[in-house]
Structure 1
């Protein structure tokens, strides 16, 4: 049955190899079951319900990716998107988490339509690489800002708006330890480095009395507090247009980049450079996002950590299915997830931000008409505390700079359209 479903021999792999690859991928990305509930709980959402939604959405995404697209690529609620959901849309713009979930659901449905009608290729190909790189790097800066703020390393300052916190405090020291420990373990190729660091810092919190022991395993909490709690009443306001597009674009570019990167490492790209069953993979991602929103979590996306499983020999969807099974098993570790303090996940956030910032090197700094809009996108995300605003300024800056530089013909129709929409949004308010 497994041979028929996944074509193991055709891909030069075995059941044992795929299982090991799935376990490796899960250990590498399992930190999300701790980080995502911790972040989304800051919107007022029930942390136990978000924990369940995170595990189930990840499992659904992995199963669809594995069984339908037959790719060794795992899925889970995306880093950056969950921070945007919490700190920009809810805490920053003042929308309720129910409205934010509705925006996530709408972005998922739009993603499905773009994949079904093959508009996705037109969008990705027409958005300049500099803007795509700027968006990814900007999210990295935004995550770094949130991580340092959550750890208390940077705090509000009446004179300079931002200042240095009490870096000798226990919270700051534990957060810093989590970050350096993560980097050291990753450098040593330790599997599950991020998760190990989070658990180690949490253990220190228990030892020093910051964290109360609640046990490790129990029956999963109820998902009822977040299940089907979407509020569409605020989605159709002008201010939410950029939010829905931000969810869509970030998910779209993140997924496309991850699919190409992981598939390339696995040797799954054809000689003509095309990715087989690409539309199926995109449908897996977008469907999982919509289902995740119904359950009560932010966008589900493909994880670049899947490369760890590919490096372990994973070549088919069986790897993704194994990851999905482990996410379902993780449902019984809710007491452990509930004990994780914010400073224990700060190090993980800062580590992810470092990875996302690496894309800055790919910007063509010799062409200011490309570099300046990318830089504006990066800078505005953390300074406005909003991924959506950063994307908006980036599109507008790109169109205007190209026009005034005599390179208006380099701007695609989709960029002109998005720049116009974002400009109208700013004018209308």
Structure 2
């Protein structure tokens, strides 16, 4: 195990094994959840489940071997919801074209990950606006979760209103939500998968859905979605803002995750050790995995914050990620179980993940924030759920931020990065108009 430098990182095989299993348990939920989300966009659920398991295995294994860090990767929450509900269902973009968008954003990320672009973009965009993007995505996917559960429904008078809480499915969703919050609040490893399992058991007991007839099966074929991406259709000026949205959202999500996990494990300390290239290599693995995922037939792949659970269990090297990937091999054979899960046992997870992403706003000091940043933050967070679009939220936030800075002649706060994103943001509204 000299490749992983276990002694240097004060760890051993036993600890890395336990850490890998912990990470697996905490992020196991992504396989069935992503299956439900992308199937809503018209992709065959059987193929999506297999593809999600495959990209999780391959991306996490590649991350562990390439960067030697305990970072696990899979299909990112937030962008998968935007893929299905924002692009395919909302904008009526064929899922094949949406996969093309993911591919192009990944290719750009791959190119940029081998440069100092990540440093430039991080210094160009105010930290508070980056945090607002995370919080906005949180409100977006939480809104989707509540809508899919029937806890929020449409209304001609008020746009939305509370759903029918006498409906058994809505009650089931509420139970799942309470359980997910309870387990997560008590820091139980595998909180989401436990809430899904218990909610499903309750549903089966009361005749909502049925137990699986078998518990294991051979993996479903991914041929219906493998290499089905339409890159030519994605190469459109009107879709450029969406490609940029996937790019910067994936980049911010990854950098935020790596910063949080790295602080706990004392990783990515490039400022203290110029030879530490682990951050660069992890970004490269993330970008390459996004391209690979689009080829397999799933939306953007990214680093998972659940990797922190493995770090807390003592994982310090890529061996943790390797063990996590090996554990995920079991999910290839669990399709009958995943398909038998009632949808309202799945969607509460979106709400809780949304809440966790929204907490980024708590890191903002609003008392010291200038009006331009406050206004930009407000519209980013507000418009993502109201317009069902991450792109619209980001675009509105940057346009308003830049407009106020120009109006107040605070030109020193504007740079090429902000102006470039603002220009692309103008395209969003011009092309929609």
Deviates more, 1:18-27 or 1:395-404: 395-404
Confirm or deny that 1:45 pairs with 2:52. Answer: no
Mapping for residues 348-359 of structure 1, pairs under 5 Å: 348-359=349-360
Per-residue deviation, 1:28: 0.5
1:389 to 367, 392, 411: 392
User: Aligned equivalents of 2:384 and 2:119: distance in 1?
Assistant: 26
Per-residue deviation, 1:65: 1.0
Per-residue deviation, 1:401: 1.4
Structure 1 gaps of 5+ residues are none
Equivalent in the alignment of 1:247: 246
Q: Deviations over 1:14-43 (max 9, x none)?
A: 000000000001101111011001000001
User: Aligned equivalents of 2:424 and 2:179: distance in 1?
Assistant: 44
Equivalent in the alignment of 2:406: 403
Equivalent in the alignment of 1:412: 415
2:375 to 359, 372, 375: 372
Equivalent in the alignment of 2:296: 295
Deviates more, 1:270-279 or 1:151-160: 270-279
TM-score (norm 2): 0.96
Question: Matched residue of 1:383: which SS?
Answer: helix
Structure 2 gaps of 5+ residues are none
Mapping for residues 227-238 of structure 1, pairs under 5 Å: 227-238=226-237
Deviates more, 1:158-167 or 1:79-88: 158-167
Could you say what the CA RMSD is over the residues aligned between the two structures, in angstroms? 1.3
**Could you tell me whether the CA contact under 8 Å between 1:364 and 1:371 is conserved in 2?**
no
Question: Matched residue of 2:347: which SS?
Answer: helix
1:204 to 202, 205, 213: 202
User: Aligned equivalents of 1:273 and 1:56: distance in 2?
Assistant: 36
Equivalent in the alignment of 1:306: 307
Deviates more, 1:267-276 or 1:330-339: 267-276
Aligned length: 427
User: Aligned equivalents of 1:13 and 1:116: distance in 2?
Assistant: 30
User: Aligned equivalents of 2:179 and 2:310: distance in 1?
Assistant: 22
Question: Matched residue of 1:313: which SS?
Answer: coil
Per-residue deviation, 1:76: 0.6
Question: Matched residue of 1:256: which SS?
Answer: helix
Per-residue deviation, 1:276: 3.7
Q: Deviations over 1:348-376 (max 9, x none)?
A: 11110110111112223232221210111
TM-score (norm 1): 0.97
Per-residue deviation, 1:200: 1.2
Per-residue deviation, 1:270: 3.0
User: Aligned equivalents of 1:327 and 1:221: distance in 2?
Assistant: 15
Equivalent in the alignment of 2:223: 224
Mapping for residues 145-294 of structure 1, pairs under 5 Å: 145-214=143-212, 215-270=214-269, 272=271, 276-294=277-295
Equivalent in the alignment of 1:329: 330
